[in-house]
Amino acid sequence: MSVEATPAAPITATGTHPRNHDGQAIAITVFSTIKLPGRVFLPVLFAVTRRFPKLTATLRQLSFIHFARWCLIGRLPYNGPPQKKGRFRYPHMYFESNFNGGWEEYIDAFSHILTNGMTAFWGTSYGFPKPLPTAPFKKYIQANETEADHYYSAYPEATSTMIQRALELDAKLAPLKRDASRMSPEEFRSAYRAFITDAQNAL
C-alpha cells in the first residue's frame, strides 16, 4: 500500500463529517467489495452469527452502538432504463452503524477488541488490511466510507449506554412506584435505600 504523509484529516472533533452527526449519534456507512469466496462464506457467517450471537453479545457489552447492520448485495432491483440490469461482477457488503463516541475511539474498540470478528466480517473484502494495527484499518474504512446526506436520531441527546441504563432503571423503579403509598414511612425509606443502592450504577 502506498504510504502518504498525512492521513485524511478528521473533519470534526469526533473525527467524522458533521453530516454524519445528529447530536451524540453518529452514522457510519461503508461499502466493501467482496472477493468471490465471500459470496459463499458471508451468508454462512451471517447465519451462524444470528444463531450463535457471540459477536453481538460483545457489541452489546461494548455498549456504544445503537443499531448496526450488514447486508450482502449481489444485484440491485431493476427499475427500467437508464439503470443497467444485471448482477455485479463482485458482491458488495453494505455496513452501517449508529453509534456514539468519537470515530477514532470506535475504530480502536473494533480493532483491539473485536479483532477476530472484524477479520471474519471483512476478511473477504478487497483491500482489508487486518484490524491491527489500527492506522491502516482506519484508512481502509475512511476510503470506503460515504458521508450521509441527511442523518436523524429520535433522541440525539442520548448514548446507547445511557439508554440501556435508563431502561434498567425504569424497570427497577416500577415496583417502588407501585408500592410507595402502601408502605409505612420506615418501610418506604428502606425500600427507597435498597432501590437507590441497587440502581446506583445507572445514576
Shortest Å distance, C-beta 191 to another protein: 10
Cβ closest to another protein, residue 27 vs residue 118: 27
Residue 84: left (phi > 0), alpha (psi -120 to 50), or beta? beta
Shortest Å distance, C-beta 110 to another protein: 11
Shortest Å distance, C-beta 115 to another protein: 10
Taking CB under 8 A as the rule, does residue 119 contact another protein?
Answer: no
Using CB under 8 A, which residues numbered 180 to 199 contact another protein?
180-183, 185-186, 188-189, 192-193, 196-197, 199
Shortest Å distance, C-beta 164 to another protein: 6
Distance CA 175, CA 159 (A): 26
Using CB under 8 A, which residues numbered 20 to 49 contact another protein?
22, 24-25, 27, 29, 31, 33, 42-43, 46-47, 49
Strand, coil or helix: 128: coil
Place of cell 504523509: 5
* Pairs from 72-78 (Cβ < 8 Å, separation ≥ 24): 72/34, 72/38, 72/39, 72/42, 72/43, 72/46, 74/39
Using CB under 8 A, which residues numbered 83 to 102 contact another protein?
83-84, 88-90, 92, 94, 96, 98, 100-102
Among 41, 105, 119, 123, the residue binding another protein under the rule CB under 8 A is 105
Among 19, 41, 120, 123, the residue binding another protein under the rule CB under 8 A is 19
Place of cell 418501610: 187
Name 97's bridge partners: 28, 68
Among 39, 41, 70, 123, the residue binding another protein under the rule CB under 8 A is 70
Shortest Å distance, C-beta 56 to another protein: 5
Shortest Å distance, C-beta 66 to another protein: 6
Taking CB under 8 A as the rule, does residue 52 contact another protein?
Answer: no
Place of cell 458482491: 91
Which residue, among 141, 35, 30, 29, has the nearest Cα to 91 in the 3D structure?
35
DSSP label at residue 8: P
Phi, psi (degrees; rounded to nearest 5) at 79: -120, 15
Taking CB under 8 A as the rule, does residue 113 contact another protein?
Answer: yes
